[in-house]
A = this chain, B = another copy of it.
Amino acid sequence: MWGGRFDGGPAKIMEEFTPSIDFDQRLATQDVAGSRIHAKMLAIQGIISKIDLDAILNGLATIETELKEGRFEFKRALEDIHLNIESRLAELAGPAAGRLHTARSRNDQVATDFRLWVRAACQRAEEGLEVLQKALFKQASAHVTTIMPGFTHMQSAQPVTFAHHLLAYVEMLARDRGRFADAAKRLNECPLGSAALAGTPFDIDRDYTALGLGFARPMRNSLDGVSARDFALEYLAACTIASTHLSKLAGEIVQWCSPGFGFVRLSDQFTTGSSIMPQKRNPDAAELVRGKTGRVIGDFVALATVVKGLVLAYGTDLQEDKERVFDAADTLEISLAVMAGMFADLAVNTERMRALANAGYPTATDLADWLVREAGKPFREAHHITGTIVKRAEELGVDLDKLPLEEMQAVEPAITEAVLKCLSVEASVAARMSYGGTAPDRVREQIAFWREKLK
């Protein structure tokens, strides 16, 4: 209880409350990289000596090794990653370390480190999305002619192919990739050299440090440099939107595994049993992916609320930015990998798909379209005629392609035997030849398109 902890004295609480090292240690690599390029620049500009530079670079190299080998000791008393590294550098490099902080501040350091981290996270997100696209694509390639019910409102609408259905997700993920690429590009300006907020009197070379860290250019305004977090929000927004797509896809899997559907069977590796019900095979991983969407939305909301409340320049409220971004990144990345794994060894029950594809008069639109095309009816009239025929089929308890011709003709004399060719789900699917439609021939074109794109 905090009331009790508080008796131990406020200082103790602050030690738990304000340090960020527990999470910002994930910026260690970026922090070392930033210090290295800053030191080089200071030396080139004559602000520090070559000897100091060497001491600093050697110290940083040692720190880098310690980090890689897990030997670097992070200390809460040193608050954050910057002071942890600076303090270790002081041990390794002596007074030279003290000169490294010339012409910079923790404000521009953390802004730089964090941009570097988010830039890499955008890259990882793109790669993870591509891995999932490939897994979906592979299943799609194998199911160009597999027919399943196409749902709207979770009602049978028109039959579609499984490949077509999966490729819809490949499209969504492609746009998600685009959002991460745009975010990475927009954030790629370097705040280093903004110092605390106003720039510095030292004659620094911001182009050198910016380019050295792979940025396109230095940021143009130092106040903006230390306070901007829209890049983190944009990243979180892209994560949120991508997560909604993963949630949809995960929701499909949960549904497809349900006994009312039975469309797919997950491998044992992606299901779990029940502690009480011996027969269960639960699609936990898909459910968890779906559930984790909420958390990513929450991450975006959290940071947007923080940023909204601040004036220029830096405020400690912004310390909340990193955990939200790390959480969203971890969540998105593992979700993508799990989904890709799930699709890689998914078994498809094509018979069950085919059977349900025929339920609920899904070719009624084909009948209406035939009446327009062949009998010259306006669509609205054709729609009405078809409704009447469906009702009759329902009364007789037969599918549309099993309804006797005379029953149809009783409703609409213009109907001829030719119509029967349109009323199977295979015919329906094959007929949808418009660009982007579900006809296997059209889907094959898309398969070819994505094979090229995803290779």
Residue in B158, B224, B294 whose beta carbon sits within 8 Å of that of A320 in the complex: B294
Q: Is A77 an interface residue (CB 8 A)?
A: no
Query: Looking at the complex, which of A27-35, A58-66, A68-76, A307-315 is the stretch in contact with chain B?
Result: A307-315
Dominant secondary structure at the A interface: helix
Complex Cα–Cα for A228 and B154 (A): 16
A103 touches B434 (CB 8 A): yes
A269-291 Cβ-contact flags toward B at 8 Å (1 or 0): 11011111111111111011011
Contacting residues, chain B, for A186 (C-beta < 8 A): 175, 178-179, 182
B287 touches A294 (CB 8 A): no
- A102-B372, A230-B244, A305-B308 are known contacts; what are 19 more A-B pairs with Cβ within 8 Å? A16-B334, A97-B378, A150-B197, A153-B283, A153-B315, A155-B282, A157-B280, A167-B224, A195-B276, A195-B437, A201-B373, A204-B435, A223-B438, A248-B308, A259-B356, A260-B260, A260-B356, A297-B301, A308-B309
Q: Is A83 an interface residue (CB 8 A)?
A: yes
Q: Is A379 an interface residue (CB 8 A)?
A: yes
Contacting residues, chain B, for A98 (C-beta < 8 A): 378-381
Q: Is A138 an interface residue (CB 8 A)?
A: no
Complex Cα–Cα for A331 and B364 (A): 35
With contacts A151-B313, A168-B223, A334-B16 taken as known, whether A202 is within 8 angstroms of B369 at the C-beta atoms is yes
Q: Which of A164, A176, A273, A318 has the most C-beta atoms of chain B within 10 angstroms of its own C-beta? A: A164
Complex Cα–Cα for A291 and B194 (A): 23
With contacts A198-B432, A224-B168, A434-B204 taken as known, whether A258 is within 8 angstroms of B334 at the C-beta atoms is no
Residue in B128, B152, B206, B378 whose beta carbon sits within 8 Å of that of A313 in the complex: B152
CB distance from A212 to the nearest CB of B (A): 15
With contacts A297-B308, A433-B201 taken as known, whether A99 is within 8 angstroms of B379 at the C-beta atoms is yes
Contacting residues, chain B, for A112 (C-beta < 8 A): none
A–B complex contacts, Cβ < 8 Å, 13 sampled:
A10-B341, A13-B337, A152-B315, A153-B280, A153-B315, A172-B224, A179-B186, A237-B237, A248-B312, A277-B365, A278-B386, A284-B316, A297-B304
